[in-house]
Amino acid sequence: MKYDGWSIYEEPQIARIQAAADILSRLFGFLAPKVQPGIATAELDALAEGFIRAEGAEPAFKGYKPPFEDAEYPATLCISVDDEIVHGLPAPDKVLQAGQIVSIDCGVCLEGFHADMAYTFAVGEVSPPVQRLLWVTQEALRRGIAQAKAGAYIGDIGNAIYTFVKSYTFAVAEQLTGHGVGEAMHMPPDIPNIGRPGKGYRLPVGLVIAIEPMVHMGSGRIRKGEDGWVIRTRDGSLAAHFEHTVVVEAKAARPLTSFEPIRKALAHA
């Protein structure tokens, strides 16, 4: 089977991706206690850029030109609030309010190797249905990662995510996918959040991928915002997004990014 252009690496290269992932994980731990009512998303973005550059790395999103887009992304973070699913632009007048949820997505490039991660925060107290959305999305990520072992299929990952999300009557953003990551921010293969067991390409040892369920409380239909970047739920329902960079190994996937710095920071906040 050919894997042309796929993000498949040997251990020395994976160690370099791990180094980028470590910076990214610690960045999220640094930002977590700052995600509070009254903070401008532009301030979070500036803090993130400063942290990354102080570590000797580069913000992988800033200046990135996605395929089929006409412009470069202008910020370090994607900050998506409430019905914004992904690619929300930070701004000085985009200020977080109590009761909102905010998804922060960031990539780091260190010496030519990339890692990608996202986490959805509650801003202050949120209702039990919203807490359930956050838990279901994070658990869907865990279940998707559990399928990412050598010899399994891409469809196994998507099926695990989709069936779990649907069991809670939520919807996944079927048009938005995870991806390979490593020597570039986005590489083959796509990792959909929907799939059939045993279908799609088989997963080889050393494949590095970003798995990222994006889950809505509503219909699952999406639309692009007026700024040309943000993608929203079409019906205005809330959306959550969790993402890890992982490497496929013989018996299991090994996450390279970690939510543990977030948990520790919030426990001491």
- CATH assignment at residue 128: 3.90.230.10
∠265-42-99 over CA atoms, to 5°?
60
11 pLDDT band, cuts 50/70/90, is very high
Whether 83 maps to a domain, the answer reads yes
1, pLDDT greater than 70? no
What is the 3 state secondary structure string of the chain?
A: CCCCCCCECCHHHHHHHHHHHHHHHHHHHHHHHHCCCCCEHHHHHHHHHHHHHHCCCEECCCCCCCCCCCCCCCCCEEEEECCEEECCCCCCCCECCCCCEEEEEEEEEECCEEEEEEEEEECCCCCHHHHHHHHHHHHHHHHHHHCCCCCCEHHHHHHHHHHHHHHCCCEECCCCEEEECCCCCCEEEEEECCCCCCCCCECCCCEEEEECCEEECCCCCEEECCCCCCEEECCCCCEEECEEEEEECCCCEEECCCCHHHHHHHHCC
Per-residue confidence (pLDDT) for residue 7, from 0 to 100: 95
Instruction: Note the pLDDT tens digit of each residue in 111-168.
Output: 999 999 999 999 999 999 999 999 999 999 999 999 999 999 999 999 999 999 999 9
Q: Taking residues 28-57, what's their average pLDDT?
A: 98
Residue 5 lies in a domain: no
pTM for this model (two decimals)? 0.97
Task: Please indicate, yes or no, if residue 2 is contained in any of the structural domains.
Answer: no
Percent of the chain with pLDDT over 70: 99
226 confidence band (pLDDT: 50, 70, 90): confident
Q: How many structural domains compose the chain?
A: 1
pLDDT the model gives residue 66: 77
Within a domain: residue 4?
Answer: no
Cα–Cα dist 185/67, whole Å = 11
In a domain, 178, yes or no: yes
The model's confidence at residue 60, banded by pLDDT at 50, 70 and 90, is: very high
Q: What is the pLDDT of residue 220?
A: 80
CB 23 within 8 A of CB 52: yes
Mean pLDDT of the chain: 96
The verdict on residue 1 lying in a domain is no
By the 8 A CB rule, do 212 and 199 touch?
Answer: no
Q: Closest by alpha carbon to 201, among 164, 148, 242, 124?
A: 148
Output the pLDDT for position 68: 66
The residue-averaged pLDDT of 212-240 equals: 94
Q: How confident is the model at residue 2 (pLDDT cuts 50, 70, 90)?
A: low
Residue 242 lies in a domain: yes
| pLDDT at residue 104 is higher than 90 | yes
**For position 6, what pLDDT does the model report?**
96
- Give the domain extent around 222: 11-267
For residue 40, tell me if it sits in a domain: yes
